[in-house]
Structure 1
């Protein structure tokens, strides 16, 4: 099924498939291609409306009876680290951060495989080979960076001390953490938390107000960590709002909870792509 806005990108809906977050549910996504000279403007605009990027596609959950998935971002201007998060920062003071162009390496892929085999062995990405990994990293039509975290003391490590990696988009109002992975053998470091905290710090250094984390899903243990960051905002009811009490959110389904696809598309605000003229 195809839905089109006048003079705008075309939006499509995926066929239902098993939900990776909640058992016994089917997921469906609304998506559009991200390409051409307006790709960055489209990525900026739709990220503010709960969309996420995967290679050259922007998508947002559009399940038939479920609205559990909520796009989440940290308001950098209001964020303060908790005691436990400050301990994580101290434990990782020895790590060196390096931001590079989105170019895949064998060391990254080795870390990626260890991460998947330990944390997501039954997930949809479990069978990704080096070529597919490279496509995930390198096929980006927008301003993206790979942020690497290395242990300089691990001189004999086969991965040259690589401990964590995050593929990050630079938006006009923040950083979007597209995908991150880390060394599952370094549990004491809490590397996943550290990468998010460091992205808050990068956003502060760049004067950007938000760090986009992807989707928080109440009722999903694998997404629970996102709710531990204060100053969290969720995209709900067509606008961003402070998270508040996490107990106010439910993963219950309802047949009238989701608007028809045509109505969802009609509500999307697109960037102004008219050429700028001077006189």
Structure 2
């Protein structure tokens, strides 16, 4: 991170890991007083950092390196048979790009998703304050993509539009449409958009081998994993 040597970084105290309950986690944050512009976020994403609200962070655990940043090289990606079925199953959805502003319809869907699908996680129970700090407070190069079926909002994908990549910050969707595999479809749609716009990568966040919740990410191949401070291709 030599080009960022003038940036101050802060580490949290060890705390219980959200994904591996037997592990303690430490998180490295950049100085919250630094303006998070597109160039900085792009550069740090290439070094395995993620964004949550106004914060850029990366795991910095002493005894564990299970959290591995992942990204899809969009040009090289091709759907597998099961992914083609997901794509076809959702061909009736309409997608619209929105500015990241608070609206009751978005929050109501988010609340349903968190409270029904992630009631065992650290984001439960959903609150307006937590939602706003996580997704509405953003650095200005973020978009919300709505996925609708005959006007009904089924999913929202929150995406940072970086210099050479899309970064999938978070996707939430209606629990009652579980048969549609909406989370996977939103990733497929974003990869398709990256191809159309000649954007190099789609960042999917951290993949953890021993976390069942993360298994879906490794199904998208080829995928690049940030290991030992370099991106390694997994076909």
TM-score normalised according to structure 2 size: 0.94
> 3-state DSSP class of the match of 1:185?
helix
Name which of 168, 193, 196 aligns with 1:205.
Answer: 196
More helix as a share of residues: 2
- Conservation of the 8 A alpha-carbon contact between 2:142 and 2:160: yes
| Counterpart in the other structure of 2:168 | 177
Residues 43-122 of structure 1 correspond to what in structure 2 (within 5 A)? 43-122=41-120
Give structure 2 stretches of 5+ with no counterpart.
none
Deviations 1:178-220 (A, max 9, x none): 1111111111100000000000011112110100000000111
Distance of aligned partners of 1:35 and 1:175 in 2 relative to their CA distance in 1, 3 Å threshold? farther
- Conservation of the 8 A alpha-carbon contact between 1:34 and 1:42: no
- Conservation of the 8 A alpha-carbon contact between 1:34 and 1:141: no
| Counterpart in the other structure of 1:22 | 20
| Counterpart in the other structure of 1:193 | 184
| Counterpart in the other structure of 1:157 | none
More strand as a share of residues: 2
> 3-state DSSP class of the match of 2:76?
coil
Output the CA distance in 1 between the equivalents of 2:195 and 2:41: 21
Output the CA distance in 1 between the equivalents of 2:67 and 2:132: 27
> 3-state DSSP class of the match of 2:72?
strand
Output the CA distance in 2 between the equivalents of 1:110 and 1:118: 12
Paired residues, number: 233
Instruction: Give the number of the structure whose alpha-carbon radius of gyration is greater.
Output: 1
| Counterpart in the other structure of 2:158 | 167
> 3-state DSSP class of the match of 1:77?
helix
Deviations 1:105-125 (A, max 9, x none): 111111111111121112111
Output the CA distance in 2 between the equivalents of 1:28 and 1:188: 36
Distance of aligned partners of 1:118 and 1:6 in 2 relative to their CA distance in 1, 3 Å threshold? closer
> 3-state DSSP class of the match of 2:97?
strand
Distance of aligned partners of 1:238 and 1:130 in 2 relative to their CA distance in 1, 3 Å threshold? same
Deviations 1:135-181 (A, max 9, x none): 322211141100110111xxxxxxx5111111100011110001111
- Conservation of the 8 A alpha-carbon contact between 1:103 and 1:137: no
Indicate the RMSD between aligned Cα atoms, in angstroms: 1.7
Output the CA distance in 2 between the equivalents of 1:150 and 1:204: 22
